[in-house]
């Protein structure tokens, strides 16, 4: 019997790479999406595919390949993992930054779902797993583009889950906390580039906050939960007969999501102000 086929976007590093390895080791045939194909041979049951999630042509090519390789069973699961994290003060952040963030974290997800649904219907009952974040439920300052895109993804997934329920294509959200992945280093580089574009007034006004924000990115990027923990949660969403809508991934994520659920907004706000990077320049 041929293994169930799974497509993972953003599989070159971090959570996507961990998911590809973990699922392949557990018997799935993984189509792993890369913006640049790896030079080294892939592990058994992993088929690298060229996939820029913002490219309609790439989606067309990948789905055509899967249709050819999986003519009988189609696709069991689509895991939308690819994403970027952009930040900065809303007061000065160019609109293009928001558009870029949503293009990758939101609109590309819709594009992928629409491209893969014919294959998922063939493999029904199927799964769509969207990689959200704790920041899809809790907003932190200076990460408004990222948080907004994840809030939008949460709403999209809620609607999609209900729409596809009659066909047993179950949709789930994974909400990780701080994970040891390259996204934090990439975010720091993008933030440094943004500062070069800001007017002197912005650099002066937010000087303390910017310094704290960059230190936070440096610190949390090396101290988070292992991405393999997220991969285990993804596998649970694939293997459960009727998966839940939401899965927290990591102890910090589960604790934060519980606090968000139990505490009133005024206390959440006080906590964010106390522990966040918001500091008025002297």
Q: What's the pLDDT at 66? A: 98
Q: What's the pLDDT at 267? A: 93
Output the domain CATH number for residue 201: 3.40.50.720
Catalytic center residues: 146
pTM given for the model: 0.91
Q: What's the pLDDT at 130? A: 99
User: What is the helix, strand, coil percentage profile of the chain, to 5?
Assistant: 55, 15, 30
Residue 281 lies in a domain: no
Residue 42 lies in a domain: yes
pLDDT in tens, the chain (282 residues): 789 999 999 999 999 999 999 999 999 999 999 999 988 767 889 999 999 999 999 999 999 999 999 999 999 999 999 999 888 889 999 899 999 999 999 999 999 999 999 999 997 789 999 999 999 999 988 899 999 999 999 999 999 999 999 999 999 999 999 887 766 667 777 777 777 888 888 888 888 888 777 777 777 766 778 999 999 999 999 999 999 999 999 889 999 999 999 999 999 988 888 766 555 555
Residue 109 lies in a domain: yes
What pLDDT, in 10s, does the model give residues 14-33?
999 999 999 999 999 999 99
Residue 96 lies in a domain: yes
Q: Per-residue DSSP letters for 243-269?
A: --SEEEESHHHHHHHHHHHHS-HHHHH
Domain enclosing residue 261, as ranges: 5-275
Q: What's the pLDDT at 280? A: 58
Task: Please answer whether residues 127 and 238 qualify as being in contact, where contact means their C-beta atoms are separated by less than 8 angstroms.
Answer: yes
Q: What's the pLDDT at 193? A: 78
Task: Please answer whether residues 85 and 147 qualify as being in contact, where contact means their C-beta atoms are separated by less than 8 angstroms.
Answer: no
Q: What's the pLDDT at 47? A: 96
Going across the sheet that includes 77-80, the strands are 46-50, 29-34, 5-8, 77-80, 126-131, 169-176, 246-249
Q: How many domains does the chain have?
A: 1
């Amino acid at each position: 019997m041929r293994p169930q086929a799974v497509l993972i976007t953003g599989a070159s590093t971090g959570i996507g790479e961990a998911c590809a390895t973990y699922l392949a080791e557990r018997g799935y045939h993984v189509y792993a999406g890369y913006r640049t194909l790896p030079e080294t041979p892939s592990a058994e049951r992993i088929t690298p595919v060229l996939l820029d999630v913002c490219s309609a042509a790439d989606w067309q090519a990948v789905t055509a390949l899967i249709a050819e390789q999986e003519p009988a069973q189609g696709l069991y699961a689509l895991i939308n993992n690819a994403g970027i994290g952009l930040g900065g003060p809303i007061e000065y952040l160019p609109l293009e930054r928001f558009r870029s963030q949503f293009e990758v974290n939101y609109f590309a997800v819709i594009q992928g779902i629409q491209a893969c649904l014919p294959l998922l219907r063939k493999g029904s009952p199927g799964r769509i797993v969207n990689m959200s974040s704790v920041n899809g439920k809790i907003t932190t300052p200076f990460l408004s583009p990222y948080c907004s895109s994840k809030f939008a993804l949460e709403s999209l997934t809620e609607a999609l889950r209900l729409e596809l329920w009659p066909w047993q294509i179950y949709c789930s959200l994974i909400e990780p906390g701080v994970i040891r992945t390259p996204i934090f280093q990439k975010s720091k580089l993008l933030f440094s580039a943004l500062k070069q574009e800001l007017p002197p007034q912005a650099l002066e006004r937010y000087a303390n906050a910017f310094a704290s924000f960059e230190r936070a990115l440096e610190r949390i990027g090396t101290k988070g939960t292992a991405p393999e923990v997220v991969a285990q949660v993804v596998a649970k969403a694939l293997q459960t007969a009727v998966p839940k809508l939401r899965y927290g991934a990591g102890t910090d994520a589960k604790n934060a999501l519980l606090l968000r659920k139990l505490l009133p907004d005024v206390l959440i706000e006080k906590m964010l102000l106390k522990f966040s990077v918001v500091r008025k320049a002297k």
